[in-house]
Amino acid sequence: MSDTLILRRPDDWHLHLRDGAVLRAVLPETARHFARAIVMPNLVPPVVTGAQAAAYRDRILAALPEGMTFEPLMTLYLTEDTNPEDVASAAASGLVRAVKLYPAGATTNSASGVADFDRVRGVLERMAGIGLHLCVHGEVTDPEIDIFDREAVFIDRVLDPIRRTTPGLRVVMEHITTSGAADYVRAAPADLAATITTHHLVINRNHILVGGIRPHYYCLPVAKRESHRLALLDAALSGDARFFLGTDSAPHVDANKQSACGCAGCFTATNTLSILAEIFEREGALDRLEGFTSRFGAAFYGMAPNDGTLTLTRGDALRLPEKIETEDGPVTVFDPGFPLHWRVTP
Ligand code: DOR
Ligand code: ZN
């Protein structure tokens, strides 16, 4: 087996960068490896208009250290008041690459999300007309639905009706966590794809709950049972171009994770590529890594893959930082629970 792998420079099709001190601290962790990322708009207040997206993009670029290159692909946060014309003009200028649908209350900073899906039909139809992608957080928020069933119910009650009533809309079902979601994507026409996170390929719900509660493994959608993790692994390793990497790397400072009401999110920007190389190697599928990290997502978004490459070299176990320091406090890096051997260099 070769100990060196040349990988076309990857993209992250679902990323949280936040703002201010946390943005400054976490941006280099992504930009070191990834050329581009779809940047989530769930700031406080959320990024709703084209003007807000332009200002956020400027703040991201201002936070990028000298000598690093990175292209933020901006998104708009869909609300029931979103103006279809504002969306269309932000897309036409090339600023905005996708619109993000959060069901109201589904996750971190999603209070302004959508409760009545009929009220966003006009925006969705406009998006279908201009070929602008919809990214969805696929969980219902109905308190009567068990948290482990929320993705499955979302597919039936929300996603499938939206796709049927808005033909031509290109949809990314983000951070899928169930075998049912993977099956749904496989069975759909080519206008539907899914991102898979690094952490959902590594953990199941036992990691969060057995032997004590582990806040750094708590994310949304919450990790499911082992059979679902194996189904996600199968999808990621399959070489099916409808499944690609969106890390959902979601920094929260430790004080907000290690709390009586801890925030959802795993911070994986620092070690994602080393973790993925370890997993793909273990499964004898290193030749499929580049499709998952560097080709399939760009193709679905209609973009060319990146020109540059990274070199991954297998060696002794890596010593990566356990925390990233920010002026607001430390952010814990996701611990996969196994040693990592693939070093990533430009
Ligand atoms: O775990 C998560 N964290 N899931 C999300 O959907 C949001 C994210 C965040 O913003 O922290
Ligand atoms: Zn997210």
Ligand of minimum distance to the alpha carbon of 264: 1
Residue 211's region, left for phi above 0, alpha for psi from -120 to 50, else beta, is left
Q: Is the CB of 219 under 6 A from ligand 1?
A: yes
Residues 243-255: what's their mean pLDDT?
98
Provide the token pair at 2: 């070769």
Distance from the alpha carbon of residue 130 to the mean position of ligand 1, in angstroms? 28
Token pair 């696929």 in the structure block, residue = 138
**Res 321: pLDDT:** 97
Provide the token pair at 145: 């639905």
Cα 89 from Cα 45, distance rounded (Å): 21
pTM greater than 0.85 (yes/no): yes
Q: What is the mean pLDDT of the chain?
A: 97
Q: Is the CB of 270 under 6 A from ligand 1?
A: no
Question: Residue 112: pLDDT band by 50, 70, 90 thresholds?
Answer: confident
Distance from the alpha carbon of residue 265 to the mean position of ligand 1, in angstroms? 5
Residues 240-244: what's their mean pLDDT?
98
302: burial class by Cβ within 10 Å (0-12, 13-18, 19+)?
exposed
**Res 1: pLDDT:** 57
Point out the ligand 1 atom lying closest to the alpha carbon of residue 266.
Answer: 1
- Our mutation pick for probing the ligand 1 site, out of 12, 14, 16, 22, counting the most ligand atoms within 8 A of Cβ, is 16
**Please, what is the Cα angle at 322 between 175 and 9, to 5 degrees?**
50
Question: Residue 2: pLDDT band by 50, 70, 90 thresholds?
Answer: confident
- Our mutation pick for probing the ligand 1 site, out of 22, 47, 108, counting the most ligand atoms within 8 A of Cβ, is 108
- Cα dihedral 239, 38, 207, 270, rounded to 10, equals 100
User: Which string of DSSP letters, residue by residue, matches 82-105?
Assistant: --HHHHHHHHHTTSEEEEEE-BTT
Distance from the alpha carbon of residue 164 to the mean position of ligand 1, in angstroms? 27
Cα 285 from Cα 117, distance rounded (Å): 40
Question: Residue 110: pLDDT band by 50, 70, 90 thresholds?
Answer: confident
Query: 245: which strand partners?
Result: 196
Phi/psi for 100 (5° steps) reads -110, 125
% of the chain residues with pLDDT over 70: 100
Q: Are 151 and 175 in contact (CB under 8 A)?
A: no
Residues 98-112: what's their mean pLDDT?
85
Three-state secondary structure call for residue 6: strand
Cα 275 from Cα 32, distance rounded (Å): 15
Token pair 């991201």 in the structure block, residue = 60
Q: Is the CB of 16 under 6 A from ligand 1?
A: yes
Domains of the chain and any CATH numbers: 4-345 (3.20.20.140)
Residues 56-84: what's their mean pLDDT?
97
Q: What is the pLDDT of residues 264-322, one digit of tens each?
A: 999 999 999 999 999 999 999 999 999 999 999 999 999 999 999 999 999 999 999 99
Cα 82 from Cα 305, distance rounded (Å): 31
Active site residue 19: no
Three-state secondary structure call for residue 324: strand
Which ranges of 226-332 does DSSP label H, i.e. alpha helix? 226-237, 254-257, 272-282, 289-290, 296-300
Bridging pattern class, strands 4-8 and 11-15: unpaired
Q: If you count DSSP H runs as helices and E runs as strands, how many of each does the chain have, helices first?
A: 14, 13
Q: Is the CB of 137 under 6 A from ligand 1?
A: yes
Point out the ligand 1 atom lying closest to the alpha carbon of residue 219.
Answer: 1
Q: Is the CB of 193 under 6 A from ligand 1?
A: no
**Please, what is the Cα angle at 71 between 46 and 263, to 5 degrees?**
40
CB atoms within 10 A of CB 316: 8
pLDDT surpassing 80 at residue 89: yes
**Res 258: pLDDT:** 98
Phi/psi for 65 (5° steps) reads -65, 150
CA 311 to chain centroid: 23
